[in-house]
Amino acid sequence: MSSRLGDRPPIRPDRVRQIERGFAFVPNRFLHEGFVASLGHAELALYLFLVLAGDRRGVSFYRHDRICSVLQMTLDDYLSARDNLIAKDLVAFDGTRFQILSLPERPVLAPRPPLTSCAQLEDEDPATIRALAVASLREAKR
């Protein structure tokens, strides 16, 4: 007999989440339609923070210094993450307030900057990484 996912009992029935005072909402589309995959770690951390900090309309008033402290993030990482979330049409920012926006039709993928050094090729280019790994394995066999 097959059961649907919603019919399965929780693993820990004594710890089923309850909606209490605050409520944060992230639609399933965020995971299933590639929005999570389109974000870097700092972007994802900041987005989640803003979701949790926002009111029912997604508006929050946290200042950058408090956000950086809570997320243990440098100011440069914060600024980059904030700007990327704005560019990806996930948040709005007016200088004092953030608003989590309804999700766009599809994730906005930022183009990767060109790789300009040998170190970047070795660290980030899949073809170069593969070639280095194959060469290393061949050396190990000798």
CATH number of the domain at 83, please. 1.10.10.10
Residue 8 domain-assigned (yes or no)? no
Residue 15 domain-assigned (yes or no)? no
**SS3 of residue 116 by DSSP:** coil
Q: Do residue 66 and residue 95 come from a single domain?
A: yes
Q: Do residue 94 and residue 119 come from a single domain?
A: no
Taking the CA atoms of 94, 100, 104 and 107 in sequence, report the sign of the dihedral they define: positive
Which residue's structure tokens are 């990327």? 84
pLDDT at residue number 6: 61
Which residue's structure tokens are 């944060």? 24
Region 6-10: mean pLDDT is 78
Residue 14 domain-assigned (yes or no)? no
Range of the domain at 26: 20-105
- Give the lowest-confidence range in 20-24, 25-29, 58-62: 20-24
The single-letter code of the amino acid at 18 is Q
DSSP string, 3-34: --GGGSPPS-GGG-----S------THHHHTS
Region 135-139: mean pLDDT is 84
Residue 41 domain-assigned (yes or no)? yes
pLDDT at residue number 4: 59
Which residue's structure tokens are 């309850």? 18
